[in-house]
Amino acid sequence: MLRQQVYSILLAFLLHSGALEAKEPQSFLSDTLVRKDQVQNVLEHQPAKEPHCQQVPTGPIETTLCDFETVESYNDELYTQLHDLVQTPFFKYYRVDLYRECPFWQENGYCMNRECAITTVDESEIPPSWRASELSRLELPSEDLRNTIPGCYYRDSDFCFLDDLSEGDYVDLTANPERFTGYTGPSAHRVWASIYEENCFGISEWALSSAPNPAPVTLPDSMTGVLRSEGADSSRTCLEKRVYYKIISGLHASISTHICYEFMNQTTGEWSPNLECFINRVAAYPERLQYIYFDLVLLTRAVARIGPYLSAYDYCGTGTHKGDDDTLNQVKNVIGIAQTVGKFDETVLFRGENAAILKEEFKQHFRNVTRIMDCVGCDKCRLWGKVQTSGVGTALKILFELDEKALDPHLNSNLLSRSEVVALINTLHRLSESLYFVNEFRKIWAETAQSEEQRLIHEAEKVVASEDAVKPPSHSPSADANRPPRAFFDDVQRWLWACRNGTMDCVRGLLLGLRNLLDALTNIFKLSGKEQGPHSEF
């Protein structure tokens, strides 16, 4: 689009002229647009060993009451406890349907690499109390409390689709680690692009951005790419949308860290950490690492909040009381750490007169993300994508849908399904393990020769430059006209829902739709110069 091109040229000019030159970054997680020594800042950072948790936001982990140092000082212990916990029978067996068709497009990009394959577990190896036939009798809500589509369902309180227990296979997660599979190319890129496109919020964001944010804290503009609309004032980007992006970006960075740490040399066939992969995918973009911290704080807050329920949960099934007691004790250890680290303040989100509409949009978008996992062409990638999006969705439900009465294990013994509990803990383990791997990469960097360091930095600079040269995807209201038809029908559905619930939101939705239509017509009929060629819309 013309405005994007002008913005990109202007930004390049300002960077070149030094008009946007920032001060020397004080943190390895600098939010500045001008990147300077970002690889060194990430890899030469020394993690804190002592907690410095404060009663006011002190670090760049926005909407939290704790800083990076606290997370770092507790993560080694948290990782040790989680690493042992996910090896236990209760948390390593997961039932998942990996063979549902992609609901959004015809997917032909299947990974043929043997590392994409998974190993399933025969049902006879699963303790009877954890089998689908037993759990469906105990956990599956009645039909009038769930919205069902072929192979999966969700309740109104759910932020994700849950697999139908009558479908799928049992998987031992410890036998199918998240690591490099060779799955890349257009298929993988389309999946991630579709996930980020779910960041497009409609009438509720427009309504909220036109009024002051009632939240007691605000988020500085630390986003890049997706959140940088065409010259728009960042303060008009609603808090919930920015939190959504950070959640998704944190998952993306965590997955990339695992892939780079457990990387297969396709020449030798050996598995080992790939420092260059980590630098190019994560260390060269410090904000991506920041979002892993953010996700870890969000999930530890969910675990802390639901701690009494998890402490009363029945983990029996191993056949040995000692094994069951060990599992419960490890869960309680994790809960104890989560109560210190999980200082996320969920009360600042979904407030104000349009909160109900915005929350429904947020749910719908995140549910779509869980459905997009069915479009992943690599079985192992699809498995871990499903586990982690379900884990984050479970955390969001705990934080934003359950009141204190609902959290009482004596009043609500079936609050979460077994799959949700397993996904929540395994996702928290993935995030904690990512930060552990980052420290391992720092050790590798410290042993790297200076000449090799300079080569890696130079290569990373070229990667960053090449990405900066590509125009960022726009998620401003004027870009909605370029979204796929599915998003258009989603907007219509949300507008009709708003009209049923209030005249003001109905009018706002109509005005927004007219504005988007005018923007689309303006873009289509805007002539480009001959030297630029035709517009991409054609």
Please report the sign of the dihedral spanned by the C-alpha atoms of residue 12, residue 13, residue 16, residue 19.
negative
How is residue 157 written in tokens? 């309180």
Contact 425, 191 (CB under 8 A): no
Residue (of 416, 154, 389) closest to 307 by Cα position: 416
Is 381 among the catalytic positions?
yes
Q: At 264, which helix (H) or strand (E)? A: strand 263-264
Burial of 107 (0-12, 13-18, 19+ CB in 10 A): middle
Contact 160, 390 (CB under 8 A): yes
Burial of 217 (0-12, 13-18, 19+ CB in 10 A): middle
Contact 96, 176 (CB under 8 A): no
CA pair distance 71, 42, nearest whole angstrom: 16
Strand extents, DSSP E, 124-252: 147-149, 152-154, 162-163, 169-172
DSSP annotation of 98 reads: -
CB count in 10 Å sphere of residue 63: 24
How is residue 327 written in tokens? 């599992």
Strand extents, DSSP E, 123-222: 147-149, 152-154, 162-163, 169-172
CB count in 10 Å sphere of residue 303: 22
Catalytic residue among 152, 200, 260, 378: 378
Contact 348, 239 (CB under 8 A): yes
Contact 179, 259 (CB under 8 A): yes
Which residues, including other chains, have CB under 8 Å from residue 296's CB and lie 6 or more apart?
Answer: 71, 75, 341, 428, 431, 432, 435
CA pair distance 175, 42, nearest whole angstrom: 31
Is 116 among the catalytic positions?
no
CA pair distance 98, 170, nearest whole angstrom: 10
Residue (of 431, 415, 421) closest to 93 by Cα position: 421
- C-alpha 382: how far from chain center: 15
What 3-state class would DSSP assign to 344? strand
Catalytic residue among 116, 152, 381, 506: 381
Which residue is associated with the tokens 């932020």? 159
Burial of 378 (0-12, 13-18, 19+ CB in 10 A): buried
Active site residues: 378, 381
